[in-house]
Structure 1
């Protein structure tokens, strides 16, 4: 009996700490989202699901919800597609590999807010570096207002999101590639397997657990990512680049609707929780099969 319950006793302190850190704020959000709240956060009368119903009827919230899904899928998918070949190249033995790895990892060490500030300057419609470079190359004849319309602002934000996600994802894949024995590739080469066949039959199957980790972690990270959208456009123009986290910020600190903002936060928490549970279960089922 002592041996059976010992693991639970050893993990109990960390579980209690996690419960306090996670469930206490969630309970506060539930309280705020189900009450009428003034701008100072004081609870008034119970309102039930009124805040959630108000969100469902808000076209800005619905648009931000769909845009958040698009933002997450594009950034996470783009980062995965770029990181796998980059990690494979950096895993090869070549002169200057250490320097190349440092260069790839450097953006990860820079504050995301500072990265967004630099890109906002680069995309300035009048004196930005991107317009100047394109003008010198003869690709455009007049300046483009990159951040003035959703047609150009949101795609540029997605590209920047991909670029800042690649270093972390590449690090995960480098760890996975380093765990694959070289003997497998040598044996496959002796059997006449092409590089593409080696990737399909050896690299990709053995890299799947690390791909699953990258998808879950990046989805949580990107879904809640605030600095890129906020620093570059603050969700504008006309809320056309808002995602849920920037919409939440506006509701809480600009409009003062703390009840609706808490409801948005709970919706985000529920979406990520459901996604993580479903994806992890599917990944574990696939591994057992």
Structure 2
């Protein structure tokens, strides 16, 4: 009996915090699901139960599927581009050179600026008539007339992806830099003695040891970028002609511009389950790869 009580002590100690976390996370999800199954007035009052009518309207709406597809492109492009740039940046900042502290501060400075203000500055810079980018390119002789960067959906979306990558680099670099700083240097010293090139050191030492930090960066960035509103909303508001809408800007329009709160709640719930499914699938794949990598080592030991 005493042994059983002793084993249950850790669970009892974390139970209050666990209950609080479930309440804080669970209630909004329940409320969102309840709202998505009702007709809702513009002022947020539930006026009648309609079952899955809101979901049915969402799933037959072509703008929803276009926004979902565009959200996937936006998320993959921004997260992939951010990782591709942040890794070499983190490796450079991890080296010992004069002024490294100043360089690290400069890289982290954009992280301290509001994302909305960053988007406002870029909208001004990309203005087709008086934008700084056009003025710079014309002065350099690269273009001979101003370009309307945000006037067409294809160009505007590419520009927004580039801005999304830019603002995501400081956070990702911080995660990767923490991983690089904790790496054992004796492995690199042994690789140098064996004549390994810089690429082989990166391929066979850095990448395997950085896997946990890369996984953290991928999951956090996907969740952050998937739900990111300010860049696209401030720069184009999902336009022109809904051509740069992603799910979060689309539901924002439904809720606060058109007053369709029930449909917006349904889309929010869909977004939650998409992210939940991605996180569970990614964690399962990572765990499986870790087990596969560990299996040969165990066989060697035997």
Could you list the runs of 5+ residues in structure 1 that have no partner in the other structure?
Answer: none
Maintained 8 Å contact 2:154/2:243: no
1:92-107 pair list within 5 angstroms: 92-107=95-110
Paired position in structure 2 for 1:273: 276
Question: Structure 1 residue 226: deviation in Å?
Answer: 0.6
* Structure 2 residue 188 is matched with structure 1 residue 188: no
Corresponding pairs, count:
289
Paired position in structure 2 for 1:259: 262
Q: CA RMSD in A?
A: 0.8
Distance between the aligned counterparts of 1:110 and 1:63, measured in 2?
Answer: 31
Question: Structure 1 residue 40: deviation in Å?
Answer: 1.6
Question: Structure 1 residue 39: deviation in Å?
Answer: 1.3
Question: Structure 1 residue 45: deviation in Å?
Answer: 2.2
* Structure 2 residue 229 is matched with structure 1 residue 226: yes
1:1-289 pair list within 5 angstroms: 1-289=4-292
Distance between the aligned counterparts of 1:6 and 1:67, measured in 2?
Answer: 49
Partner-residue secondary structure (3-state), 2:130: coil
Question: Structure 1 residue 82: deviation in Å?
Answer: 0.4
TM-score relative to the length of structure 1? 0.98
Partner-residue secondary structure (3-state), 2:142: coil
Partner-residue secondary structure (3-state), 2:39: strand
Q: Deviations along 1:139-177, whole A, 9 cap, x unmatched?
A: 111100111111211000000000010110001111111
Q: Deviations along 1:188-229, whole A, 9 cap, x unmatched?
A: 000000000000110000001101000000000000001001
Distance between the aligned counterparts of 1:82 and 1:7, measured in 2?
Answer: 43
Tell me which stretches of 4 or more aligned residues in structure 1 moved more than 2 Å: none
Could you list the runs of 5+ residues in structure 2 that have no partner in the other structure?
Answer: 293-302
TM-score relative to the length of structure 2? 0.94
